[in-house]
Amino acid sequence: MDFKNPFVIIFIVGTLFSFILDSLLDFINYKFRQKHGLEIPEELNGLLDEATLKKTRDYKNAHYFSDIPYSLLSLALTFALVFSLYLVLAYTKSFDFAKGNSYVTVLLFALAVSLPNALLSLPFELYGEFKIEKKFGFSNMTFSMWLLDQVKALVIGIILGVPLLLVAVALMNHIEHWWFFLGCVYIAFSLAISYIYPVLIAPIFNKFTPLEDGELKDRLLALLEKCGFKANGIFVMDASRRSSHSNAYFTGFGKNKRIVLYDTLIKQLTVDEIEAVLGHELGHFKKHHIIKRMCVMFPMIFVFLFAAWLIIKMPSLYSGFGFKDAASQGSAISGTLQYIGIYLLSLTFGGFSPIFSLISNTFSRRDEFEADEFSAKTCSSGQPLISSLIKLNKENLSEIQVPSIYSIFNYNHPPLLERIKKIKKHSIYS
């Protein structure tokens, strides 16, 4: 390790920045929760009780105290893997075992560097699911169900991820300006996943049944027609098999677009409230939020890949982390090592992700406010939307209000109280 290397310095600074910022924000929110967690704002008088607020506070505290040791161990593991030259060892052993085959080398390296973090997170995931979530009445998981989900996710990840990884290596091996073609492949891959997810991937984990005939279906179909949204059906997902958390969303595109309602949502909300929730989701469609985000993200993919293509040609990126062989190759770095360079680059700058989250969350919260306003206007009143938000917040034990500094970094949806105030401010509450 070369601790004077600029990439190593950026890695250390970024990793510590992310850890300190996240820890500080979590602590600020914890102190705020301890001081104000049992207060009922004027807007929610008679709609929430102290018992629910206490349960919410205890639920969030349980996750907070569980996250502290995980964050510390994760930080220690990250530094240990880098400073011990484990990454270099993983590469050399993978290269030797694969007898120089670039595709096998990259696959083995990807496995070797992902395994330690996966093993570290495993006991915390189990504790969160079977201790915290069960204690507060959310989890309906059995261990066999949880294990089967992990196997399914692993298999799907391999089926989808390995070909994409191999294509990336092939492009790096054979095409000089691979960044452009890899960007095209990644975008096409993302769109393909979005298209097949509702009909091929989601049903592997959950059962989806068409919404039964009745008032709810009639109201939702009328709302879809009013908004000009053509969906391939409205489906109910058996979310209660795993958890009592509730949600609704639309997914897919083209002929595979569909509306999905959690069965828990149908049990918790009235017809008016479910209509308002769907109106919010349709607000994202009518305001073109997804298209706008794509128009920003797709060009950014090419920008980031182009920047990566330039930077991974720098021998100092490799030498700083102990990859002497790559450094000795100068700018003519092989396709296999270019992939290693991409990994080192993500490691180097990954600690600054909170800055990107800050930007992304700012625009996301703006979109949520617009979708709320659209729902209230489309449904002729903000009352059902507000009551649905309060119920969902209560049922999911979500916090009513959090410190603004915490919200801007961690919330892509505005806190409940902000959403209620905004709906009333636009005079769409009745």
CA distance 347 to 344: 5
Q: Is 42 a catalytic residue?
A: no
Task: Work out the number of other CB atoms within 10 angstroms of the CB of residue 294.
Answer: 14
Burial environment of residue 382 by CB neighbours within 10 A (0 to 12, 13 to 18, 19 or more):
buried
- The residue annotated as part of the active site, out of 133, 273, 275, 281, is 281
- The residue annotated as part of the active site, out of 133, 273, 368, 372, is 372
Of the candidates 424, 425, 398, 428, which has an alpha carbon nearest to the alpha carbon of residue 413? 398
Chain-centroid distance of CA 228 in Å reads 29
Q: Is 39 a catalytic residue?
A: no
Vertex 208: Cα angle to 265 and 124 (nearest 5): 70
Q: In what order do the strands lie in the sheet with 234-237?
A: 208-210, 234-237, 258-262, 248-251
State the catalytic residues: 281, 372
